[in-house]
Amino acid sequence: MSKTPKSTKTVKATPSFKTVPNAAASAGDHTDDVFDLPVVDEDTVLTGAAADATDLEEKLKHLPRILRIALLVDRERGYIHDRLIADIETLSPGLALTAAFATTDNPATALALAKELDRLAVADDVPELRHIADCVRLVSLPIQNDLAGSEDYRRVTQSLMNALARLPTDIDPSLGAEIESFCIGWAMLPALKHRLPRYRHRDQTAANHASSLGDQAATRRVEAAEANIWTKIEARGASQSEKAEDADDHTSARPPQSPTAGPNQCVVARLSERQMKALRLRELLAQYDGVINKALPLIEPPPLEEVRKALLFEFPYAQNVIDTVLGDLIGRPTIRVVPTLIVAEPGAGKTLIARRIAELLKIFCWRTDCARTDSTVFGGTDRRWNSAEPCHPFLAIIRAGHANPMILLDELDKAGGPGSGTSVPSNGGGRLWDCLLGLVESESSQRYPDPLLQTNVDCAHVSYLATANSVAGLPSPLLDRFRIIHMERPSRDHLQALLPAIVADLARERGLDAEWIPMLDGVEHAAVASVWPGGSVRTLRRLVEVILRDRDARATRN
C-alpha cells in the first residue's frame, strides 16, 4: 500500500521492485540474495542538486551541513529531503533505505536510514555520511513525550552545539543570531514542548518548533544589543560634536570652569558641556537642571535642645534613640546623621520617630519602602532605557533643594525578599542591600557613579535612618555600616505623654493647627486607657482617630 509523501518532497513516484525488504533487514542484511532493490527516482536527485545549486545563499555555503539544513527548515524552504537524498546518492548510491526515505513519510524509516549511514561512514571510511545521518535525524524526528531520552535527539543536539561553537567570529550578526536561536530552541524542546501551539500537528517535526522556543529565550539579549547600539550612537555623536567644535574654535571645546561651593554648600553633580550635549541625556536634563553644576545649600542644625524637647514630648519612651541621633550633630556646621538602624517590635513608632526627626531638623525626608524597592530602582537606571532615572539619593536632593536630605529606609529587614536574607526580589531586580553598601559609606558615596548621568555624584551629605523589626537575616556587611539602636515599646505609663503628640500629629495630617483639636477629655482618656495596655503606638493612634471621628459625627448632628 503506498503512503502519502512528505510535504517537503516534490517527487511522488513509487519505485518498482519485486520484493521490498523491511527497514531492519535493509540496515543489517547485505547478502547477495536480495534482488531488485528499490532505486531512487532520478528526478528526485536532480531536483535536490538543482535546489542546492540555485537556492542556497552564498553566506550559507560555508556553514556546517547541519546548520545549513537547520536554517532551511527554519525558513521553510522546499526540497530539503531531496537535497539530502542527492547528497546520499552521490556518496553511497543504491541504498534501499534511501529509496524508502524518498517516498514515505515515516520517522522509523528515516531513523533506520540514519543508522545505516552511520554504519557505512565507518565501513566505507566516508565520514561525510555521518554528518548527513544527523541531518536526516534533524528533519525527521517528531515531537514525542520521551524526546529527552531519545539517543537520536541527543545525537542531533550534540552536533548542533558543536557546529554552533565552531562558527567564525566574523559571521554576519543576524545570521549568527538566527542559528543560535534555532540551536537553543532545539535544546529546550524536551522541557518546553507543552508550550508549543502546534504540538499535536502531525505534519510538524521537532525542528519546525525549535526557533519559536529559541526566540523566547533571546529577548533579553536583543534588549542588551539595542542598548549597546544606543551607547555607540551617543559616543559617535559626542565625538563628532567635539570635532566640529575643535574645527570652529579650539577654545570652545574646553569644559566650563567648575562651579565652586561656598561655606555650607555642595556641588552634587558636575557635567561638562560635551557631556550635557549627549543626545539621550539632553532629553532628560530639563527636570534636573536646578542641581547640575549648581552649588546647593547644606542645611545647618536648628537649636538641638528645642528639637530634643519636642521629640521627647512625642516619644518619651525613645530617649536613647533621640539622644544618640542628635548627638551626631553636636558641634557640626551642617546636618549629617551617622547611618542608623532603629530596631523595635511592630507598631512601636519607628517610622514615625524617624520622620519627625527629619521634620524637626528642617530637612527633607525621602521615604523608601524597602519591601517594594530593589537595587535597580534605588541605585538608578541607565539612560539607555525608557525608565531611566538617577539614583534615589540624587532624586531626594533634587526634591529637597538642598544637598543633605534624609532617606528613611522603612522595613530594611524585608529588602532581600520574602522570608530570607538571600532572596532576590520577584520583579527580577537586585537586592536593595547590595546597592546600599556603596551609598551609606561616606568615602564611596562622595563619588557614586550615577547610571543616568554617567558621572560621579556627591551624595556624602545624605543621612540614612532605617527601621527594622529584627536584624536576623540582615547581611553582616550591611550591619557593619549601620549603627544599631534598639527602641523599647511604650507602656501604659507613657499614655499621658503620648496622647498630646498623637493629637498634634493628626492635626498636621488634616492641615490644621493643633489648637483647633481639643485634647481628650476625662471620659475619652479613660476609654482609651481601658483598651490600650501599652505596646503598639499604631494601635493607640487608631483609637484616637476613632474618638476624633466620633467627635466630628456628634458635632455634625448637633
CATH number of domain containing 480: 3.40.50.300
Pair (516, 381) in one structural domain: no
| Mean pLDDT, residues 493-509 taken together | 80
Is 104 in the same domain as 147?
yes
| Amino acid 409: pLDDT | 93
Is the domain of 457 the same as that of 507?
A: no
The residue among 444, 464, 486 that closes a domain is 486
What cell does 14 get? 513509487
Q: Give the model's confidence band at 240: pLDDT under 50 very low, under 70 low, under 90 confident, else very high.
A: low
Whole-structure pTM value: 0.51
360's enclosing H/E stretch is helix 350-361
The candidate with the shortest Cα–Cα distance to 193, out of 213, 219, 169, is 213
Task: Using alpha carbons, select from 109, 139, 136, 131 the residue that is nearest to residue 207.
Answer: 139
Residues 457 and 328 in one domain: yes
State the average pLDDT over residues 507-516.
75
Q: Residue 362: is its pLDDT beyond 90?
A: yes
Instruction: Please say which residue of 162, 187, 217 terminates a domain.
Output: 217
User: What confidence tens digit (pLDDT) does each residue in 132-153 have?
Assistant: 999 999 888 888 777 878 899 8
The candidate with the shortest Cα–Cα distance to 67, out of 215, 207, 198, is: 207
430 in Cβ contact with 378 (< 8 Å)? no
Q: Are 111 and 156 in contact (CB under 8 A)?
A: no
**DSSP single-letter state for residue 370:** G
For residue 407, give the nearest of 458, 368, 461 by alpha carbon: 368
Residues 421 and 496 in one domain: no
- Write the DSSP symbol of residue 217: T
463 and 361 housed in the same domain: yes
Same domain, 476 and 549: no
CB 489 within 8 A of CB 534: yes
Residue 269 gets which letter from DSSP? B
pLDDT score recorded for residue 406: 95
Query: Using N-to-C axis directions, what is the helix angle for 522-531 and 495-509, rounded to 10°?
Result: 110
249 within some domain: no
What pLDDT was estimated at residue 222? 65
Contact 210, 189 (CB under 8 A): yes
Q: Helices marked H in 124-201 — which ranges?
A: 128-140, 151-165, 173-192
When pLDDT is cut at 50, 70 and 90, the band that residue 262 belongs to is: low
* Residues paired with 269 in a beta bridge: 292, 457
φ, ψ (nearest 5 deg) of residue 269: -135, 130
Whether the per-residue pLDDT at 221 is higher than 80: the answer is: no
Residue 336 counted as domain residue: yes
- How far is the C-alpha of 88 from the C-alpha of 94, rounded, in Å? 9
What is the distance between the alpha carbons of residues 454 and 543, in angstroms, rounded to a whole number? 50
The better pLDDT of the pair 151, 51 is held by 151
Residue with the larger pLDDT of the pair 33 and 115: 115
Which residue, among 345, 342, 321, has the nearest Cα to 469 in the 3D structure?
Answer: 345
Q: DSSP class of residue 417?
A: -
pLDDT at 425 over 50: no
Q: For residue 312, is it within any domain?
A: yes
Confidence class of residue 245 from pLDDT cuts 50, 70 and 90? low
The pLDDT tens digits for 517-530 are: 778 778 888 888 88
Q: How confident is the model at residue 5 (pLDDT cuts 50, 70, 90)?
A: very low
Q: How far apart are CA 12 and CA 113, in angstroms?
A: 19
Do residues 511 and 558 make contact, with C-beta atoms less than 8 angstroms apart? no
Q: Are residues 462 and 543 in the same domain?
A: no
Residue 250 pLDDT level (bands cut at 50, 70, 90) = very low
At 358 the pLDDT is: 95
pLDDT at residue 428 in the model: 45
The answer, yes or no, to whether residue 424 has pLDDT greater than 80, is no
- Over residues 20-33, the mean pLDDT reads 41
Asked if residue 11 belongs to a domain, the reply is no
Q: What is the pLDDT of residues 151-186, one digit of tens each?
A: 998 999 999 999 888 888 888 888 888 888 889 888
Whether the pLDDT of residue 546 is over 60: the answer is: yes
Instruction: Give the distance between the most distant pair of CA atoms in the chain.
Output: 117
β-strand partners of 408: 367, 465
Give yes or no: residues 503 and 544 share one domain. Answer: yes
Question: Is 60 exceeded by the pLDDT of residue 20?
Answer: no
Residue 311 pLDDT = 92
Which amino acid is residue 436, in one-letter code?
Answer: L
Q: What is the pLDDT of residue 468?
A: 93
If asked whether residues 428 and 543 sit together in one domain, one would say no
Lowest mean per-residue pLDDT among 103-117, 280-294, 318-332, 345-359: 280-294
Tell whether the model's pLDDT for residue 42 goes beyond 60: yes
Question: Is residue 464 pLDDT above 90, yes or no?
Answer: yes
pLDDT higher than 50, residue 427 = no
Res 434 pLDDT > 70: yes
Contact 288, 311 (CB under 8 A): no
Q: Which of 351, 445, 463, 359 is nearest to 407 (CA)?
A: 463
Of residues 1 and 62, more confidence is placed in 62
In whole numbers, what is the pLDDT of the chain averaged over residues? 78
In a domain, 250, yes or no: no
Mean pLDDT of the 294-321 span: 91
So what's the pLDDT on residue 83? 84
Asked, for residue 153, whether it belongs to a domain, the answer is yes
Domain count of the chain?
A: 3
Do 464 and 499 fall within a single domain? Answer: no
Cell, residue 136:
536526516
Final residue belonging to a domain, choices 163, 184, 217:
217
User: For residues 428 and 425, what is the distance between their CA atoms, to the nearest angstrom?
Assistant: 6
Strand partners, 406: 365, 463
Listed in order, strand segments (DSSP E) in 419-477 are 448-450, 455-457, 463-468
Contact criterion met (CB below 8 Å) for 290 and 402: no
Bridge pairing between strands 455-457 and 448-450: antiparallel
Q: Which of 201-215, 257-271, 372-386, 480-494 has the highest mean pLDDT?
A: 480-494
- Regarding whether 502 and 444 lie in a shared domain, the answer is no
422 domain residue, yes or no? yes
* Domain interval for residue 380: 304-486
Give me the percent of the chain exceeding a pLDDT of 70: 75
The number of beta carbons lying within 10 Å of the beta carbon of residue 527 is 16
Tell me the mean pLDDT in the region 444-448: 88
Any domain includes 231: no
